[in-house]
Amino acid sequence: MDFKPDVIVVGSGVGGSMAAYALGKAGVKVAIYEAGRHYDPEAETPMMNWDREAPLRAVGTPDKPFGYYDATVDGGWEVPGEPYTVAEGSNFKWWRSRMLGGRTNHWARHVPRFGPLDFKPYSRDGRGFDWPIGYEELKPWYDRSEKLMGVIGENIDLPNVPHSPPGVRQPPPVPRVPELLLKAACDEMHIPCTAPPRAVITRPIDGRQACFYASPCERGCAIRANFQAVTVLLPPALATGNVRVTTDAMVAEVLVGKDGRANGIRYIDKKTGQWREARAKAVILAASACETARILLNSKSGGLANGSGQVGRNLTDTVGLGIGARVPALEGRPRYNEDGISFAHVYMPWWLDHAHKELGFPRGYHIEVWGDWTKHPGMGIGWNANWYDGFGHGLRDHMRRTFGSIVGMAGRGEMIPNDDCYCEVDPAANDRWGIPVLRFHWKWSEHELAQAEHMRKTMLAIYDRIGAKLLNPSDAEGPAKISAGGEMIHELGTARMGASARDSVVDSYGSTWDVPGLWLMDGSVLPSNPDKNPTLSIMALAWRGSVEMLKRSKGGRA
């Protein structure tokens, strides 16, 4: 029997899979089209393998930037046959995740809620763009998303770090010894340090096993303890019989009928090289912020749904800065069972919202923690061959003494949209199938540069408090080594939501102002990029938007 979808969803990451989950369970026929290959982490994840069992001891290569065992199979900074260009004077890196489940397979699983201040940045200080909704409108969808996703963490009393209701979050694992040291230093410095919200479960839910700390989450999870769209959202969606998935389908454009309504897509079958079309009553783009912009800009001269001129504009990424150090006080200490999840058990949420006028920069950041205690015993993150003398017994003694003594901090801050950061179609470059590619323009503003410098000084002060020695002494000198655009893999804002068609692409539910039947449900619609990682917010918005889509369809307005 032919499957005739009501809705086409482009992309199978957190937004696309959430839409398929919500719509499929409501009886809507949904066809998902994914540019990457099929992926089954339950069958493909080598949870128990040691790095020494992999080629090159699992170090990164151009086709596996984050290591041999990383849960990225066909994506990365560079994808063969799928180039992008960067304008002169810009520094931008575009990560594509070419696999079923998208970026939910490779990510830190840090899932904070956006706070009340994050939804109204322009009203606060005249910079950026206000959301057409506030925290209270999204709060019930955060609650639902956290329950479905499975989230650990602690509530903390900070004005812009919302609490999760009782019973929503699961208990986090206890801090390890290096994390306790950091927390003690932060307590003395009046910097909050608490258990972060992570999409990893410590109690069984919905047939998923609790994490038993076997291997890094970045590999994927065969027991479904961490959140991936392919293990949490897609299985129940497919079980309804209302959802079908087509992989290796590179979408080039959205098709529009004579009535101006979106009614399908044109895509290349990457396995055969043949062009195909698919039709439905409505189309949801959830291909990631830049990919969705590419599709819209290639769908019509001047861009589909671009009456506001905002498609491709307002491109943002998280401000990133990292500093690592060795802590002599942690060398040669007694060993305890400190396995835990593969991420740190503490982080420092932004604590200076009340002082934003005095800081010299308008928006805040949080600090994530890393170290070689989160990996299998071995050389670990930050290991340096110059720290030991000899091989054999000398090397082993060194590793036993120093393992667990490397501490790292990574600042993650808010970027304010600016006119210098956007993507457009490059008129002189196509991909292997002849589809025009994106060209990126990028420039950090003085706000982000000042913020990164504050990150640097804060980290140095914490390191000084615990007697740490920097792995890279030049970090003490500055200026702050801010990340490249896109390097944090948090691109947002290329088709922002708003209250008016004049200055935005979609309404608060993701429905495009200009094209009936065309919805956006990924990071492209976020008007701002707070210091909180965006995955949970994208999921909550997609769920909210899908329910609204159902309501409008019953009224003949979708």
What's the pLDDT tens digit per position in 239-255? 999 999 999 999 999 99
CA proximity to 21, closest of 211, 143, 149: 149
Q: Where are the beta strands (DSSP E) in 362-509?
A: 365-371, 406-413, 422-430, 436-441, 469-470
Helix (H) or strand (E) holding 264: strand 262-269
CA proximity to 523, closest of 262, 288, 309: 288
pLDDT of residue 557: 66
Three-state DSSP string of 129-165: CCCCCCHHHHHHHHHHHHHHHCCECCCCCECCECCCC
Q: Residue 208 carries which DSSP code? A: B
pLDDT of residue 51: 87
Rounded to a whole number, what is the distance in angstroms from the first to the last CA of the chain?
Answer: 27
**Residue 20 backbone dihedrals phi, psi, to 5 degrees:** -65, -40
- Considering the domain architecture, whether residues 273 and 328 belong to the same structural domain is answered as no
- Considering the domain architecture, whether residues 36 and 124 belong to the same structural domain is answered as yes
Question: And the tokens for 294?
Answer: 């590419």
State the CB neighbour count (10 A cutoff) for residue 111. 28
Q: How far is CA 308 from CA 121, 261, 296, 512, in A?
A: 21, 18, 13, 11
Residue 328, domain extent: 173-226+320-413+445-481
Q: Where are the beta strands (DSSP E) in 286-343?
A: 319-326
In a domain, 91, yes or no: yes
pLDDT of residue 64: 84
In a domain, 546, yes or no: yes
pLDDT of residue 382: 38
Query: What is the C-alpha separation between 147 and 3, in angstroms, rounded?
Result: 31
- Residues ≥6 apart with Cβ < 8 Å to 108: 343, 368, 533
- Considering the domain architecture, whether residues 369 and 458 belong to the same structural domain is answered as yes
Specify the CATH number for the domain of residue 89: 3.50.50.60
* Amino acid code (one letter) for 400: R
Query: What is the C-alpha separation between 348 and 126, in angstroms, rounded?
Result: 27
In a domain, 168, yes or no: no
| In contact, 549 and 558? CB cutoff 8 Å | yes
- Considering the domain architecture, whether residues 202 and 351 belong to the same structural domain is answered as yes
In a domain, 159, yes or no: no
Which position has the token pair 């972060």? 196
In a domain, 231, yes or no: yes
Query: What is the C-alpha separation between 241 and 236, in angstroms, rounded?
Result: 9
Cα dihedral across residues 126, 130, 134, 139: positive or negative: negative
Instruction: For 462-491, give the DSSP string.
Output: HHHHHT-EESSGGGGT-S--PPPBTTTS--
Three-class secondary structure of residue 546 per DSSP: helix
Query: What is the C-alpha separation between 244 and 307, in angstroms, rounded?
Result: 33
Which position has the token pair 């949970």? 536
Q: How far is CA 412 from CA 149, 385, 409, 454, 552, in A?
A: 22, 29, 10, 12, 38
- Considering the domain architecture, whether residues 184 and 247 belong to the same structural domain is answered as no
Measured at the CA of 446, the angle between CA 443 and CA 452, to 5 degrees, comes to: 95
- Considering the domain architecture, whether residues 219 and 272 belong to the same structural domain is answered as no
Rounding to the nearest 10 degrees, give the CA dihedral for residues 400, 402, 405, 411.
-110
Q: Give me the count of residues in the chain.
A: 558
In a domain, 543, yes or no: yes
Q: Which residues, given as ranges, of the chain have pLDDT below 70?
A: 1, 374-391, 556-558
In a domain, 157, yes or no: no
In a domain, 160, yes or no: no
Q: Is 42 exposed, middle or buried (0-12, 13-18, 19+ CB in 10 A)?
A: middle
Question: And the tokens for 109?
Answer: 């699983």
- Residues ≥6 apart with Cβ < 8 Å to 184: none
pLDDT of residue 389: 53
Question: And the tokens for 78?
Answer: 């560079």
- Considering the domain architecture, whether residues 370 and 462 belong to the same structural domain is answered as yes
- Considering the domain architecture, whether residues 337 and 388 belong to the same structural domain is answered as yes
- Considering the domain architecture, whether residues 111 and 191 belong to the same structural domain is answered as no
| In contact, 36 and 97? CB cutoff 8 Å | yes
Q: Which residues of 141-179 are buried (b: 16+ CB within 10 A; e: fewer)?
A: bbbbbbbbbbbbbebeebebbbebeeebbbebbebbebb
- Considering the domain architecture, whether residues 145 and 15 belong to the same structural domain is answered as yes
Q: Number of structural domains, the chain?
A: 2
Query: What is the C-alpha separation between 185 and 191, in angstroms, rounded?
Result: 9
Question: And the tokens for 140?
Answer: 């019930």
Query: What is the C-alpha separation between 172 and 229, in angstroms, rounded?
Result: 22
pLDDT of residue 2: 84
- Considering the domain architecture, whether residues 328 and 462 belong to the same structural domain is answered as yes
- Considering the domain architecture, whether residues 275 and 370 belong to the same structural domain is answered as no
pLDDT of residue 119: 98
pLDDT of residue 62: 80
Sheet holding 436-441, edge to edge: 85-86, 436-441, 422-430
Helices (H), 273-376: 289-299
Work out the angle between the directed axes of helices 177-189 and 446-466 (0-180°, nearest 10): 110
